[in-house]
Amino acid sequence: MRIATQNHKEIEMANPTRKKKDVQPLVDQDRVLDKVNTYSAPSQLRITDMRVAVVASNYDYPIIRIDTNQGVYGIGEVRDAGHKENALQFKSRLLGQNPLNIDMIFRDIKRFGNWGREGGGVSGIEIALWDLIGKVYGVPCWQFLGGKYRDKVRLYADTPEPEDATPEGYVRRVKGRVKLGLTFVKFDIGMHVLEGIKNTRIGTRTKYEYRTGDWQNAPGTGTGVHVTDKGIARMAEIVAAVRDAVGWEVSLCIDHYGHGMLTTKEVIKLGRALEPYGLAWMEDPVQWWDWVGHKEVRDAVGVPIAAGEELYLLDGFRPFLEHRAIDIAHPDLLTAGGMLETKRIADHAERFGIPTALHFAGSPIAFMANVHTAAAIPSFVALEHHGLDLPFWRDLVTGLPENYMEGGYVTVPDKPGLGVDLNLEGIRANLRPPSGLFEETSYWDTPKLGFWQPDRRWDK
């Protein structure tokens, strides 16, 4: 072998008195090359197709498959509740490319991504390419991210809201999660927990809004309803009851009281009221893009602030990290730009003393992408699991054992690529009509609106 021969020569030059028969290469290069799943040759690998299958779920999963001229394919997914078109729009740019040139392809397409679900196409393709590369070279994805810091990744559970938004209802739900072995649990408390309780809110909702003019589209303005001290006390009562029920060894975090439903001043009041209960974090306290607002809250309360699930690329995170506007970076890998970009975000956060937790609500495919990435992040906290109550969730792939979650942790796989593969039967049984099962997508073989301009691959 050429590489082995070169190694022999180098060793011989360094040790001229050594006899040739004593010289052994440090690595058996023939065995290494045997492991490379070349099919023919990596340098000849080309992308030939991209296909999708949309799975119906609590948030739908647009699963993508990138095919090549050598039979090997990569799998990924657009962010949960995102659009398959966010990935398909890039098909014409991918066809004919060597998928091993992942950084070049990523630079090429990332210009067309954006925050939230709009980052899902770029991120899903990035995952599929890493899966492909891992399969070609017989290496698990975590290796491409620099190796592992751990063999098992801690999960944190999202918890469905109880029908009765009482302290008892929340205790029941969170205890259910702890029974599954989880040691880290998130639950949602919002203004709805105050429904029907007198004197917890001031004012009434504004009337006559157009449907799209509701609070979701004018965040930061509140709902026209403000929370009273009694309302804050009720929210704190729920958190106190949960803490009391599960004890102090379980990490707890809360979400969904922000997003514009509460103003910055109200969130600060709430945060101060929650300080005694040792929360791991309060999530997304104000509008996702407002790093100054996050900093106001972060500077004013003792509860750690986590944010970032809508932020796109390291560039999106930089002001939040560099101004220390948050305590915990919380990227969603399917918006943030995929596996390597999420690792970059975590590494950058680390310079500012900010650890990283991973937001996630997708299928087992992106779940595994998160597991590989989490394994490679030194300052990793926990990975979200939003599919614990979905009976079909694990059936969407092969390679994920029934007991994949043990004691609230998941084992980092050693198999090539993501370590799971498509289970076509499981996907077919859960398709969201009119989606078919990886049907042809030749419509996207040619560029569409917005892709006519000359190549500017090296733009930021």
Report the C-alpha gap between 131 and 83 in whole angstroms.
21
* Cβ-proximal residue to Mg ion, closest one: 255
Binding segment for Mg ion (CB under 5 A), chosen from 145-153, 220-228, 278-286, 430-438, is 278-286
Shortest reach from residue 186's CB to Mg ion, in Å: 8
Give whichever of 108 and 255 is closer to Mg ion, judged by the CB atom: 255
Shortest reach from residue 75's CB to Mg ion, in Å: 25
CB 82 within 8 A of CB 62: yes
Binding segment for Mg ion (CB under 5 A), chosen from 42-50, 253-261, 292-300, 438-446, is 253-261
Binding segment for Mg ion (CB under 5 A), chosen from 34-42, 250-258, 364-372, 393-401, is 250-258
Q: Report the relative pairing of strands 152-158 and 226-227 from DSSP bridges.
A: unpaired
Shortest reach from residue 254's CB to Mg ion, in Å: 10
Interface with Mg ion includes 255 (CB under 5 A)? yes
CB 142 within 8 A of CB 376: yes
Task: Tally Cβ neighbours within 10 Å of residue 381.
Answer: 23
Could you tell me how many residues of this chain bind Mg ion (CB under 5 A)? Answer: 2
Shortest reach from residue 112's CB to Mg ion, in Å: 25
Binding segment for Mg ion (CB under 5 A), chosen from 11-19, 64-72, 244-252, 282-290, is 282-290
Shortest reach from residue 255's CB to Mg ion, in Å: 4
Give whichever of 99 and 120 is closer to Mg ion, judged by the CB atom: 120
CB 376 within 8 A of CB 145: yes
Interface with Mg ion includes 131 (CB under 5 A)? no
Give whichever of 141 and 239 is closer to Mg ion, judged by the CB atom: 239
CA distances from 381 to 154, 308, 327, 370 (A): 7, 14, 12, 12
Shortest reach from residue 283's CB to Mg ion, in Å: 5
Binding segment for Mg ion (CB under 5 A), chosen from 41-49, 131-139, 141-149, 281-289, is 281-289
Shortest reach from residue 289's CB to Mg ion, in Å: 15
Task: Tally Cβ neighbours within 10 Å of residue 297.
Answer: 24
Report the C-alpha gap between 287 and 293 in whole angstroms.
8
If we measure between CA atoms, which residue out of 339, 325, 252 comes closest to residue 288?
325
CB 307 within 8 A of CB 283: yes
Give whichever of 49 and 310 is closer to Mg ion, judged by the CB atom: 310
Shortest reach from residue 349's CB to Mg ion, in Å: 17
Shortest reach from residue 38's CB to Mg ion, in Å: 42
Interface with Mg ion includes 290 (CB under 5 A)? no
Report the C-alpha gap between 257 and 235 in whole angstroms.
10
Give whichever of 98 and 287 is closer to Mg ion, judged by the CB atom: 287
Give whichever of 108 and 118 is closer to Mg ion, judged by the CB atom: 118
Shortest reach from residue 285's CB to Mg ion, in Å: 11
Give whichever of 67 and 283 is closer to Mg ion, judged by the CB atom: 283
Give whichever of 118 and 283 is closer to Mg ion, judged by the CB atom: 283
Report the C-alpha gap between 35 and 28 in whole angstroms.
11
Binding segment for Mg ion (CB under 5 A), chosen from 22-30, 196-204, 252-260, 406-414, is 252-260
Give whichever of 93 and 259 is closer to Mg ion, judged by the CB atom: 259
Give whichever of 140 and 355 is closer to Mg ion, judged by the CB atom: 355
Interface residues toward Mg ion, by CB under 5 A = 255, 283
